[in-house]
Amino acid sequence: MKVRVTVSLKEGVLDPQGKAIGHALHVLEFPEVKEVRVGKVIELDVDGSDAAAVEARATEMAKQLLANEVIEDFAVEVVK
């Protein structure tokens, strides 16, 4: 089964990478860009056929490794 875990910085947490991309986009003449936030998408291919069980395990993986819950939020989506 495929599971997608999207990890993003929490609201209010400074995003230096986003700031750098925003500045670069302005230099490349995209003045309409007001803010840029960068996150991760982690696609997992796992054994298993029960979507609920797979989602619970992926949530556990996110809590233990994939996301730093102090500064990041995550969302788990069973794709198929």
Closest separation between CB of residue 27 and its own copies, Å? Answer: 9
**Spatial contact of 7 and 72, defined as CB atoms under 8 Å apart:** yes
Q: Which of 11, 12, 16, 45 binds its own copies (CB under 8 A)?
A: 45
Q: Which bin fits 54, alpha (ψ -120 to 50), beta or left (φ > 0)?
A: alpha
Subset of 1-30 contacting its own copies (CB under 8 A): 6, 8, 18, 21, 24-25, 28, 30
Closest separation between CB of residue 24 and its own copies, Å? Answer: 6
